Amino acid sequence: MSSNQKPKATRQAFGEVLAELGTKHTNLVVFDADLAKSTKSEMFAKKFPDRFYEMGIAEANMIGTAAGMAMQGFVPFICSFGCFVTGRFDQIRMSVAYAGANVRVIGTHAGVGIGDDGHSQMGLEDLSLMRGLPTMTVLQPCDELETRQMIEFLMTHDAPAYVRLTRQNLIPVHDGEYRFRLGRVDVLRESATANVAILATGATVQECVRAHEILQKQGVQITLANVPTIKPLNSDDILDIAKGHRWLLTVEDHYTIGGLGSAVAEIISDRSGPTRLVRLGVNDQFGESGEPIELYDKFGISAAKIVQTVSGLLNS
């Protein structure tokens, strides 16, 4: 992990870079659905009030309006909690994805990591919904630097996109040499002797880094990769990692159905070889209220539970 930066929520990094980009890109417009303080789009609103649109608790209207502005050459970012904005799936499906409108859908407060607010506020099916839409790019950064680079990339990306962001602070994983590349897997730790490769995305990447440190002290080598692009995901990168390992372990703060684990399973399902896939995430049940670390432990995606799972695989 990088020691040059302090822990920061990816929603905070998003708000900061969005406000910075507003000066350079005069076609950048931002919409929010009564949650600008929480999504951090308020930073843009304060600097560029004439290009910020507070739509109230009317996400469907926000989506349709943003799609119309995209058709006129603007680059709209529409912001809300992930569960609320993707809950208006029909509008995203028709007005954004089907129309090919270059709208950037920003879903904050992802997963059980939001903690005490409980299931009604937790986006846990959002990746599954957005992955299912043709034309839709689906992204999830793991730290501040990756968030900044993703948002900058989206200013010139020619397709609709969904970006999934955290409420909780995340420890920096990358240093200044890192460059986000659409679709590519970001290998953080690599071992030629490892039998297990972990593929993680978003907030769980830092849990996997911690798990790697624990396992290393125990003399256990693993390969660890960050997957910032859920769709389109580079098949060659996944197959290259799978080729050298007996086990692939995906870790995500999302349902095990439809997220990163499913994306990886789709890639390796037609491949002949000995590699087995295990998916960690919320396993077909509703989230609940609690401290983030308690919930990560309960649902098996904390560093301690990842270590336990890896040990179990190696002893099987």
End-to-end CA distance of the chain: 30
| Gyration radius (Cα) of the chain, Å | 19
User: Measuring CA to CA, how many Å separate 28 from each of 17, 74, 107, 155, 235?
Assistant: 12, 6, 18, 8, 32
With a CB cutoff of 8 Å and minimum separation 6, the contacts of 23 are: 47
User: Out of 42, 59, 144, 146, which one is annotated catalytic?
Assistant: 59
User: Measuring CA to CA, how many Å separate 284 from each of 203, 257, 299?
Assistant: 19, 7, 11
Structure tokens at 32: 């929010």
User: Measuring CA to CA, how many Å separate 173 from each of 80, 87, 106, 225, 289?
Assistant: 26, 31, 22, 11, 27
Short-list 242, 298, 281, CA closest to 265: 242
Query: Catalytic annotation on 59?
Result: yes
Structure tokens at 139: 């992204």
Measured distance CA(33)–CA(28) in Å, rounded: 17
Catalytic center residues: 59
